[in-house]
A and B are shown apart, each in its own frame.
Chain A
Amino acid sequence: MARYAALIYAAEQNDTDTNPEQWAAIMAEYNTFGETAGAAGVLGAGEALQPTSTATTVHVTGGAKGGDVVTTDGPFAETKEALGGFYILDCKDLDEAVHWAAQIPGAWHGRVEVRPLIDFSQG
């Protein structure tokens, strides 16, 4: 057996241009996948991300640990770097999340994008 990450890329939905019915249809599709893949025993963890407008990109300068932490608004602009992995961080606020993101080696070898997860329990 091997482990895989399935990374979901799709056009970003705007609150204003997706009506509740469309949302419900999309959610139903995901629920179906969750149930099917869950029953088959292939599903590990899964999360949904807030839109890129809530993203913050963290970079540690100098190419080594301990450099200046540079925080910018917005998602990581794709260049020659590619998504290489991810952590789920449990933090009380963005400052704490940035603090930890700046300790990830990717922050000085590249960039780390911090994006809040959607909390479905909050309706």
Chain B
Amino acid sequence: MVATLIRLTGDFDLAEDAVQEAAIVALQQWGVSGVPDNPGAWLTTVARRKALDRIRRESSRTARESAAVRLLDEPAGPGEQVAKRPDELRLLFTCCHPALNSDARIALTLRTLCGLTTAEIARVLLAPEPTVGQRISRAKKKILTARIPYRVPVDHELPERLPAVLNVLYLVFTAGHHAADGTLDSRFGLADDAIRIARLASVSFPDEPEVWGLLALMLATHARRGGRVDGSGDVVLLADQDRTRWDHEAIAESSRLVEVNLRKRRVGPFQIQAAIASLHGLAPTFPSTDWPQIAELYGFLERLQPTPVVRINRAVAVTFADGPQAGLDLLDALGDDDVAEVQDWHLYWSTRADFHRRLGEHDDATDAYRRALSCPTNESDRRFLERRLREL
């Protein structure tokens, strides 16, 4: 609804205020007269009227007048329901416009498409609230002043515009997904939001395999949420998860999407990650996972995204396919830049520790677990690392 109003008025603040005012009117009126048949349309109509009032009050500004003209031109009624979905995409492309910096893109998306408050965004992004507030207001101001348009790009612009949008959606998803491990509240429903918007995007861009790849990746990852955390909020390792608690229907859908899209022969990072996630999902037990294929897929991914995190993941897959020494060799082969980058990652040290443990090298394993514990990590990971250290 905010998206519709923003498109109509071209003004984030005006749209947000109007929707808020409409919500207040709704609370007052619906309490007396009951909820109308089509609450969404009702709210949009009221919000539009509120925006119009405000524009008229401030009509000395010609920019506001032209915003009012746009509002008046828009057909009222049921059409708004139909218009809502493309509006979300338009808004997404505006929030992820390359003329905005990447920090602003994610913050703006969380605000306008996921409806988070500045305080909530600050929690999700682990950034100070004033910084997030400034980032958002500066971005809104730039959108307005530099006239960043509200539109879905045409086909030839997609190669430049789509990656930024997909990356932000994936960030929204991971922010919500990590919420399930107890470090953050999952009430924001970010993972569901991201999946919903990715579905919308995949319908709008059916010929873009990376959009489907992202959707498939999120479906397969989200499908395992039921098994990721135990009753006391501790992370359950993939090997120990109760696979009956996974959403096998979502995994099947993900796997279908991966297969259909890989045939288009325009492979990208999201499709590869989706293929990996759906292979994990399809494995009836941990030992029967298709590790050789997963290790090979990580090899492809490393060629497209030569980052330390991909290299570490590949080493893990290689360990299960070819043994811990092969995995350790890959970690030892990391370049100097990578090694410098991973010094403070508990994931790097805990992976090393695990490889040493499997090789029976207990002293090396102990050292590596201690290094992992000295890195920044969350409570439940810390408990896990301490347990492993005790078990040695």
A: which residues have CB within 8 A of B? 50, 53-56, 68-74, 92-95, 98, 114-116, 121-123
Contact = CB atoms under 8 A, between A and B. Distances in A.
> Which has the most chain B C-beta neighbours within 10 Å: A53, A55, A72, A73?
A73
A50 B146 contact: yes
Given A73-B100, A73-B101, A94-B99, A122 B145 contact: no
B141 A54 contact: yes
B229 to A, nearest CB: 37
B142 A53 contact: yes
Q: List 5 tightest A-B contacts by C-beta distance, closest first.
A: A71-B98, A73-B101, A93-B149, A56-B99, A93-B147
A55 B97 CA distance: 13
Nearest to B102: A73
A94 B141 contact: no
Contacts of A116: 145-147
Contacts of B146: 50, 54-56, 94, 114-116
A73 B149 contact: no
A73 B247 CA distance: 41
Contact of B62 (A50, A70, A122): A122
A101 to B, nearest CB: 11
B61 interface: yes
Contact of B145 (A50, A70, A74): A50
B60 interface: yes
Given A69-B160, A121-B62, A54 B101 contact: no
Contacts of B149: 92-95
A74 B98 CA distance: 11
Interface in B133-151: 138, 141-142, 145-149, 151
B12 to A, nearest CB: 15
Nearest to A15: B141
B98 A53 contact: no
Contacts of A68: 160
B61 A94 contact: no
A53 B101 CA distance: 11
Interface string B77-101: 0000000000000000000011111
A56 B142 CA distance: 10
B137 to A, nearest CB: 10
Contacts of B147: 92-94, 116
B359 interface: no
A68 B98 CA distance: 13
B104 interface: yes
Interface in B143-200: 145-149, 151, 160
Given A53-B138, A98-B99, A122 B63 contact: yes
Given A53-B138, A94-B147, 16 more contacts: A54-B145, A55-B146, A56-B99, A68-B160, A69-B160, A70-B98, A71-B99, A71-B160, A72-B99, A73-B101, A73-B104, A98-B99, A116-B147, A121-B62, A122-B62, A123-B62
Nearest to A99: B157
B266 to A, nearest CB: 18
Interface in B93-149: 97-101, 104, 138, 141-142, 145-149
28 contacts: A53-B138, A53-B141, A53-B142, A54-B141, A54-B142, A54-B145, A55-B146, A70-B98, A71-B99, A72-B101, A73-B98, A73-B101, A73-B104, A73-B142, A92-B149, A93-B148, A93-B149, A94-B99, A94-B147, A94-B148, A95-B148, A95-B149, A95-B151, A115-B146, A116-B145, A122-B61, A123-B60, A123-B61
> Which has the most chain A C-beta neighbours within 10 Å: B97, B99, B101?
B99
B238 to A, nearest CB: 38
Given A54-B142, A93-B149, A73 B99 contact: yes
A14 B228 CA distance: 48
A56 B98 CA distance: 9
A122 B63 CA distance: 7
Interface in B7-58: none
Contacts of A72: 98-99, 101
Nearest to A74: B101
A119 to B, nearest CB: 8
Nearest to A55: B146
A95 B147 CA distance: 8
